[in-house]
Amino acid sequence: MAGFGWFWKAMGSSATANQKKSKSIVGEAQKASDRLADASDSEVVDIARSCIGSDDARTIEDAPLLLAAVREASSRTLGMTPFDVQLQGALRMLVGDVVEMATGEGKTLVGAMTAVGYGLQGKKVHLITVNSFLAGRDEKWMGPLLDFFGLSHGAIADEAGSEERRDIYTRDVVFGAVNEIGFDVLRDQLITRREDAVRTPADVAVIDEADSVMVDEALVPLVLAGSEPGAGPTAQITEVVRRMVEDRHFTVSGDRRNVFLTDEGAAFVEKELGVESLYAADSGDLLSQVNVALHAQHLLIRDVHYLVRDGAVALIDNSRGRVAELQRWPDGLQAAVEAKEGLTVTDGGRILDQITIQALLGLYPQKCGMTGTAVAASDQLRQFYGLSVSVIDPNEPAQRFDEADNVYATAADRDAAVIDHIVAVQATGQPVLVGTQDVAASETIADDLVLRGVECNVLNAKNHELEASVIAEAGRPGRVTVSTQMAGRGTDIRLGGADSEPGAEEHDRVVELGGLHVVGIGRFRSARLDNQLRGRAGRQGDPGSSVFFVSLEDDMVSVGGAGEELTAQPAEDGRLEQRKVLQFVDHCQRVTEGQMLDIHATTWKYNKLIADQRAIVNERRDRVLDTEAAWDDLSYHDVEKVGALQASGIDQAVLVQAARDIMLYHLDHEWSEHLAYLDDVRESIHLRAIARESPIDEFHRMSIAAFGELAERAVELARETFSRAEITADGVDLGDLGLHKPSATWTYMVNDNPLSSTGGSVMGSIASMFR
């Protein structure tokens, strides 16, 4: 990576070479620590700064001494002396890698030390987290270390206003949730005065839970919308769809991702609605409304994909099993689910702008990250971000024992065996953490345990606000915690309880019993998510164990094994103990992982072009914002009006801003129209495959052609508006011409991510129905 001088060359390119060189440099840092023990605070800071070169690139010239200084500062300010493995993790992130560090190894401190390293090079750093709670917690916790080196810092809170955000973004190190930073980018892309911008660009993104942010949510669009009625299905359509029969009126794809109307189904709908044809040109968006209602009714399941809470639909993040705050489906689908549940149907809105998390991270010149499960995501990290993965060995060797899967013929047999297993383990006093696939499963398991006399804590999207406190106590003796994925990432599970330490009675008792026992119910579509759950046990060399219970009816097996046959004889209790069954389950998971990577790659190609076009629009916006380009163009094309305006004595700055307002209004409006058009193209592009044309090539051709007309059309409309608009000393009022900006705007995340780990999620291919 540029900016690290000789050190990067010395590190080599292979994982083995990286580890060997990193350990060698950390070993040198240990020797250098001796000369810092008696140094004053200011001397430690001066020594750290002396490690940075004075050239323009501000490269790190003495990595061992810098690491020693940061270690000494951490000890003095936080009372935490970093382990060698933590220094190694920081080192690899300063090179630009994503590091894999086991649960409980202190990644928060590693991230802060990395921020110090970049900060001392004069680079602005964004420490990106999965939510604002963690951003605020980490900033407060690590703040003293940053203060020691004179680095200003702050955290972006959900409730922070524009002025507060603007101030925080100017600081050296900013802690923020990925969605909050993304929404600020979107809002800044609609300003009409440069001084209204909130976000100051940063040089480096240090990403916590990198696999979650950069892979699981990479293609989730962050959306800025403006008030405009949405087009959801009517109550009559919802009622008609409710009476339709699968395999007669409609069919569902094998992976439960798409639903298709049959000829008989179309005839049924036409008769019930009293229309001649759903496919007639004058039928409007009737067909789209029917399709959306079918998706809502038959693919989206309550307590699996969403909850109904306080009279509203709340989406569930499938990779974490938590409520996906600020997320909604594209507007027609959101309205369809609300109608299905008998709730008030909310208005949608015109999408003013959007950006995927992957495109957002592309705004940072340098990126690095940390997570407990990076290796399994290494293909995506390399392919889509150009990042390598470095595995950091745990400070204490892992003692977790991962049992072979228990596979059963049916889900009913599997669940009965799970309950027996949990009851038996809990009777010994060993704490158990149970991971389920969705909310409904977590509640069913909890109810069955209660019937067997086992009390348990349930952690799912319905009570996620208790997450940190519940998961922190999951290591108490005899405690059973039932949780959806992912259980308390960012919160340690200490054996014996939240405040327990080695030597305490309850801690030692749990250690003797074998530590935390993790039980997974069903394998996820990605082994990485399974490993995240397993990783909750065996923290910092603690003993622990894990086992997964799988059935051949599970979503992952049915999708990954579609079209394949498995012949095996179950035992009386339904268990399949043959080795070939375990191999088949592993095979199914590899298939689903491959499917997800293919989908990611294809979707990335679509999104990449949109991101490139957005960058071109941004360049034009910047030119309009920062120069008099809009006034130069518009005034040139209406000399007569310009003469009248100048004769009226209106200040030139007012005229320039009025021209800017007009030009930006039309540029932004045309971009919004372009996004809607691209969604329409993506909806129908699969039909090109029937004509043996490449869908992605055809999408590129059509989108590039449409984009080529966007700027020209915006300029022509702006010229027309300039000629008609009344400009006064107060500027221009576009509303008088019927050019109204939205009366309200809001942000949300569109949940049409095709990489969802749970079946039944809606593919982005239907997004165009919802405009």
Q: Alpha carbon of 527 to those of 380, 433, 460, 534: distances in Å?
A: 14, 18, 21, 10
One-letter amino acid of 572: E
Secondary structure (3-state) at 625? helix
- 153: how many CB neighbours lie within 10 A of its CB? 22
- Between residues 211 and 762, the one the model is more confident about: 211
Determine the Cα–Cα distance for residues 230 and 237; give it in Å rounded to an integer.
16
One-letter amino acid of 288: S
pLDDT at 736 over 90: no
pLDDT at 744 over 80: no
Asked if residue 107 belongs to a known ligand binding site, the reply is yes
- Between residues 487 and 182, the one the model is more confident about: 182
Percent of the residues in the chain that have a pLDDT greater than 70, as a whole number? 85
- 619: how many CB neighbours lie within 10 A of its CB? 10
Closest by CA to 3, choosing from 91, 121, 92, is: 121
252: β partners: 259
pLDDT at 147 over 70: yes
Asked which of 128-142, 305-319, 729-743 is least confident by mean pLDDT, the reply is 305-319
Q: What is the pLDDT of residue 255?
A: 61
Residue 277, sorted as left (phi over 0), alpha (psi -120 to 50) or beta, turns out to be beta
pLDDT at 487 over 50: no
* Lookup: tokens for 388: 């390598």
- Between residues 671 and 283, the one the model is more confident about: 671
Determine the Cα–Cα distance for residues 348 and 53; give it in Å rounded to an integer.
53
Closest by CA to 172, choosing from 125, 106, 223, 121, is: 125
Asked if residue 106 belongs to a known ligand binding site, the reply is yes
- Between residues 302 and 258, the one the model is more confident about: 302
Determine the Cα–Cα distance for residues 67 and 95; give it in Å rounded to an integer.
13
**E strands of 248-371, at which residues?**
250-252, 259-261, 306-309, 312-317, 322-323, 327-328, 349-356, 366-371
Asked which of 187-196, 201-210, 337-346, 650-659 is least confident by mean pLDDT, the reply is 337-346
Asked if residue 492 belongs to a known ligand binding site, the reply is yes
750: β partners: 328
- Mean per-residue pLDDT over the chain, rounded: 84
Please list the alpha-helical segments (H only) found in 342-432. Answer: 357-361, 378-385, 411-427
Percent of the residues in the chain that have a pLDDT greater than 90, as a whole number? 45
Q: How far is CA 10 from the centre of its chain?
A: 34
Place of tokens 């569930």: 316
Q: What mean pLDDT is predicted for residues 651-655?
A: 94
Select the highest-mean-pLDDT range: 78-87, 278-287, 292-301, 565-574: 78-87
Q: What is the pLDDT of residue 146?
A: 98
Please report the domains of the chain, with CATH numbers, ordered by start residue. Answer: 5-226+357-391 (3.40.50.300), 235-347 (3.90.1440.10), 399-577 (3.40.50.300), 596-740 (1.10.3060.10)
Q: What mean pLDDT is predicted for residues 723-731?
A: 92
Secondary structure (3-state) at 82? coil
pLDDT at 97 over 90: yes
Q: What mean pLDDT is predicted for residues 290-311?
A: 82
Asked if residue 184 belongs to a known ligand binding site, the reply is no
Q: Torsion over CA of 405, 410, 411 and 413, rounded to 10 degrees?
A: -80
Q: What is the pLDDT of residue 749?
A: 61
Secondary structure (3-state) at 222? strand
In eight-state DSSP terms, residue 526 is: S
Q: What is the pLDDT of residue 324?
A: 60
* Lookup: tokens for 286: 């009737």
SS3 annotation, 544-570: EEEEEEEECCCHHHHHHCCCCCCCCCC
**Residues in the chain, overall count:** 771
Q: What mean pLDDT is predicted for residues 680-687?
A: 66
Cβ partners under 8 Å of residue 137, min gap 6: none
> Which tens digit of pLDDT belongs to each residue from 333-365?
778 888 888 887 776 667 889 898 999 999 999
pLDDT-derived band at 438 (thresholds 50, 70, 90) equals: confident
- 70: how many CB neighbours lie within 10 A of its CB? 28
pLDDT at 62 over 70: yes
* Lookup: tokens for 294: 């079918």
Q: What mean pLDDT is predicted for residues 456-476?
A: 70
Q: Is the link from the previous residue into 113 a cis peptide, with omega within 30 of 0?
A: no
pTM of the model: 0.79
Closest by CA to 526, choosing from 488, 485, 472, is: 485
Asked which of 82-91, 230-239, 393-402 is least confident by mean pLDDT, the reply is 230-239
pLDDT at 679 over 80: no
Asked which of 172-186, 267-281, 425-439, 740-754 is least confident by mean pLDDT, the reply is 740-754
* Lookup: tokens for 311: 């009279």
Q: What is the pLDDT of residue 342?
A: 83
Cα angle 569, 575, 579; round to 5:
70
pLDDT at 377 over 80: yes
Beta carbons of 310 and 474 less than 8 angstroms apart: no
Asked if residue 104 belongs to a known ligand binding site, the reply is yes
Please list the alpha-helical segments (H only) found in 33-62. Answer: 41-50
Cβ partners under 8 Å of residue 248, min gap 6: 262, 264, 265
pLDDT-derived band at 318 (thresholds 50, 70, 90) equals: low
Q: What mean pLDDT is predicted for residues 192-202?
A: 95
545: β partners: 401, 517
Q: How far is CA 27 from the centre of its chain?
A: 36
Determine the Cα–Cα distance for residues 60 and 8; give it in Å rounded to an integer.
10
Q: What mean pLDDT is predicted for residues 368-376?
A: 89
Asked which of 287-301, 539-553, 586-600, 696-710 is least confident by mean pLDDT, the reply is 287-301
